[in-house]
Structure 1
Amino acid sequence: MFKRILTAVIALLLFIPIILYGSWPLELLMGVLAVLGLSEFLQMKKISVFSVPAVLSSLAVLMLAFSSRLTGIFGENVMMTTISLLIVSLFTYSVNKLDFKVTQIGSIVLMATYLGVAFTTFVSLRAYSLTFMFLVLLVIWATDTGAYLIGKQIGKTKLAPNVSPNKTVEGALGGTLLSAGVSALYLYFFPLFTSYLLSLLFMIMISAIGQLGDLIESKIKREYGVKDSGNLLPGHGGILDRFDSLLLVLNVLFIIGLL
């Protein structure tokens, strides 16, 4: 527990100044996190981080993280162009390599897109509203905390036993309730939409999406037979472990176009 808390404190001391400053330092941080997360996924698949597919996909997620600065080169469709470039590059590389299968190409492109879209959306979220960004982070933190505390005390009904045996329905509801309480207080001082009720319901939806993101990460680890995605963050695991809830939330925010 001490190691987990110490890691969290150090990470906050490093990340908060960059988040507050925004601009290119934040884009660079998001790009680095995306590459690290992708590297963890590649290692799960037993693909060397120094291989050609790893280099190509890492360049792609970096381009996605800096997509707002690449519109002058690739135009407004820079994200689709980047993904298409990655697909074409990986297919070209695979032509004479029968051991590099189409299913591997698909999973690499999928994860690169998932991470790239998420972390570039975080940059957009920071530019859109600093208070909204902190609310999203608070909701995810409150959801995780509430789910752990309530689930440990009264959790009995398994939520998704096939992918995460320790998660319970009671814990999920507890996480949602705590996040709703945090949101209700926060939105009183920092309104999001004109309607307070709509804002609160939206944040409850964010809480639910975050829990689904957690389960998706658990499914990935279960498929590849690993406990943690990595060991970069002592007490927390890897980047994918730490950002599992946020990744799906950011992808959904990108889809609905709120930012």
Structure 2
Amino acid sequence: MLKQRVVTAVIAGLVVLLVLLFGGLTGWRCLVWIATLAGVLEFCQMFGRRWYDPAVWFGAIAISLADWFPRQAFHPFVFFLAVAVVLTLPVITRRPNDLRTYAVTAFGAFYLAAGGVSLIGLRALPEGWLWIWTFLVAAWTCDTAAYFVGRFVQGPKLLPAISPKKTVSGALAGVAGAVVGALVFGEIAGPQYDAWVFAAVGFLVAVTGQVGDLVESAYKRAAGVKDSGRMLPGHGGVLDRIDSLLYAAPFALWFISGVLSGLI
């Protein structure tokens, strides 16, 4: 299992690396769109929806309108229209009992779409290459440190009712790993910024990313599944790999484009 996990991680990492180096913003946008759409499909399938189900296509539309979605999301009419679509689907399909499932999948589509939009937004920032790399390095070092320390040190469980394998030692190691990873990368790639900037980004990504991982674990528990899918050997589904990224990205985008812009 560890060998499969490492091989899959290396291949996925190379794909991301090549897109970031040679794909520009357009290539990154396409990669995020594909990965997020796969995540929406897996999320819907966890709750018994097929790929051709209207709830899945609702999620696909939310992802496809990624550039439009965040700017208009809080307009009352747009919000009402989105809710109205979800409420109307069980009427159109003549299956009123599906309302609960549609509501869950629609909520998941919005949450995943917001994460995908934010990943694209990070890359689109001034010096976006620096911030998306800092974000990814922090996320990867967090995952790596949490996995190996949690596996070999063990200790008290973090939230066994939600995720039985996660430990307090792994969570703390993840935060430390993300801070160190972001600091080292930042000192090399962005010496024009103070060290605390990268440490703060690493800390934020580690904390919110691990919360996102627990959120997805809670959804899997509710759906009665172990993994979101089987597309990635050793890791489960695509959503199992990007859940923390999608959850952490809106926080990172807000922090870098909002808070940091007023401090540096």
TM-score (norm 1): 0.86
**Contact 1:30/1:119 (<8 A) preserved:** yes
Structure 2: gaps spanning 5 or more residues: 259-264
Find 1:112's aligned residue among 109, 112, 115.
109
**Contact 1:61/1:116 (<8 A) preserved:** yes
Report runs of 4+ in structure 1 exceeding 6 Å deviation. Answer: none
Deviation at 1:93, TM superposition (A): 2.2
Deviation at 1:12, TM superposition (A): 2.9
**Contact 1:31/1:62 (<8 A) preserved:** yes
Instruction: Please say if 1:77 is aligned against 2:72.
Output: yes
Q: For 1:199 and 1:15, how far apart are their aligned partners in 2?
A: 21
* Farther off after superposition, 9-18 or 143-152: 9-18
Deviation at 1:196, TM superposition (A): 2.5
Q: For 2:59 and 2:78, how far apart are their aligned partners in 1?
A: 10
**Contact 1:114/1:251 (<8 A) preserved:** no
Instruction: Please say if 1:28 is aligned against 2:30.
Output: yes
- Distance change (3 Å), C-alpha of 1:22 and 1:117: farther
Q: For 2:25 and 2:223, how far apart are their aligned partners in 1?
A: 36
* Farther off after superposition, 239-248 or 78-87: 78-87
Give the match for residue 200 of structure 1: 199
Q: For 1:59 and 1:222, how far apart are their aligned partners in 2?
A: 27
Deviation at 1:192, TM superposition (A): 8.1
Structure 1: gaps spanning 5 or more residues: none
Give the match for residue 98 of structure 1: 96
**Contact 1:117/1:251 (<8 A) preserved:** yes
The CA RMSD over aligned residues, in Å, is: 2.5
CA deviation profile, 1:106-151 (whole Å, cap 9, x unmatched): 2122111111111111111112211221111111111111112222
Q: For 2:79 and 2:161, how far apart are their aligned partners in 1?
A: 32
Percent of pairs identical after alignment? Answer: 29
Q: For 1:160 and 1:192, how far apart are their aligned partners in 2?
A: 38
CA deviation profile, 1:70-125 (whole Å, cap 9, x unmatched): 99xxxx52786766543222222222431222x32321221111111111111111
- Distance change (3 Å), C-alpha of 1:222 and 1:192: farther
Instruction: Please say if 1:9 is aligned against 2:7.
Output: no
Find 2:54's aligned residue among 52, 77, 82.
52
Give SS of 2:166's match.
strand
- Distance change (3 Å), C-alpha of 1:224 and 1:34: same
Q: For 2:141 and 2:167, how far apart are their aligned partners in 1?
A: 16
- Distance change (3 Å), C-alpha of 1:113 and 1:130: same
Find 1:126's aligned residue among 123, 126, 129.
123
Give the match for residue 164 of structure 1: 163
Q: For 1:83 and 1:231, how far apart are their aligned partners in 2?
A: 33
**Contact 2:123/2:132 (<8 A) preserved:** yes
* Farther off after superposition, 30-39 or 10-19: 10-19
* Farther off after superposition, 51-60 or 115-124: 51-60
Give SS of 1:197's match.
helix
- Distance change (3 Å), C-alpha of 1:184 and 1:23: closer
